[in-house]
Amino acid sequence: PTASNMLKMSWSDAVAQSAQGWIDQCNVTHGPPSSRIIDGMLPAITVRSFIFRALFIVHSVLKCSACVQVVCYSSYEVGCAVAQCGSSYFYGCFIPKLNPIWNFRGVPPYSLGDPCAACPHDCEDGLCTNPCPYINTFSNCDELKEMATCDHSLVSQWCPASCLCEDKIVPIARK
């Protein structure tokens, strides 16, 4: 089924560097949290918002969690790497994930609907091109913004996506 809010994926050199650092270790598992941080990004944004999950494509097998990550509407950057480990080659990709895990039971990884219905003015090839790089800490941030406004320090601190991404595709908040 088509998605109304799917973001267009684009290549990221910074994400590819993280993928290369992980794949060079010849350890075909999820990288440790320390390997999921991209240099040059604001520490607050990096630590709180971007947690990387490795997407493994080894022997043409995709792990289930990786499949969901690829179809998650808020994934919009990818970087890949390859390394020779003994007589084998390993290939892996990182997709920055705005949420620690996409494991919201009963919540689909994207909204059903006509392509770009959620982003009619920011659409390319049926995909949205207006990602929000922030994530709200709480699922009721829109209500908090309406009640207290973004001028309130706690609302601006804990609800940056609602405050800073007015016309952007905002990732789901943690539940």
**pLDDT tens digit sequence for 151-175:** 999 999 999 999 999 899 988 665 4
- What homologous superfamily does CATH list for 132-175? Crisp domain (1.10.10.740)
**What's residue 113's pLDDT?**
95
| Threshold 0.75, pTM exceeds | no
Q: Which residue type does 1 have? A: P
* Mean pLDDT score, 132-143: 88
Higher pLDDT, 38 or 84: 84
Higher pLDDT, 67 or 130: 130
Residues facing residue 148 across a β-bridge: none
**What's the mean per-residue pLDDT of the chain?**
73
Fold match flag (10-97 vs 132-175):
no
- For a pLDDT cut of 70, what percent of the chain falls above it? 65
Which residue, 42, 45, 17, 22, is CA-closest to 34? 22
**Is there a contact between 56 and 92 (Cβ–Cβ < 8 Å)?**
yes
**Is there a contact between 73 and 169 (Cβ–Cβ < 8 Å)?**
yes
For domain 10-97, give the CATH number.
3.40.33.10
Structure tokens at 52: 């990387």
Quick check: 121 pLDDT over 90?
A: yes
- For a pLDDT cut of 90, what percent of the chain falls above it? 30
Question: Which residue ranges make up each domain of the chain?
Answer: 10-97, 132-175
* Mean pLDDT score, 117-144: 92
| Listed range (5-19, 45-59, 86-100) with the worst mean pLDDT | 45-59
**What's residue 105's pLDDT?**
57
**What's residue 61's pLDDT?**
33
